[in-house]
Amino acid sequence: MKKLNKFERQIEEELEKGEWIRAKDYEILRKELEVGAKAVIKKKPVSIRLSERDLMLLKRKSLETGIPYQTLIATLVRQYVEGKIKLEL
């Protein structure tokens, strides 16, 4: 288990001392956050058309890295939309 940093230890100590109180609308906030988290995690199937050559090369890369090719595609898309990789045309 990860060790707590100074700020986290302080919060834990304050909780144990009863210095924190639950928000009146706690249940509503919790449910809203839960719905939001599920929406972020939820996956939606998509269909894309790739040339046979590209698919073959992608599957080869998949074998080299040990990552399933669909996971590799999803990772590339995620990194692109997060601005971690750039597309060159």
pLDDT of residue 67: 93
Dihedral sign of CA atoms 28, 34, 36, 38 in order: negative
Average pLDDT over residues 35-58: 91
Strand spans (E) along 1-89: none
pLDDT of residue 1: 66
- The per-residue pLDDT for range 14-38, each reduced to its tens digit, is 999 999 888 889 899 999 889 888 8
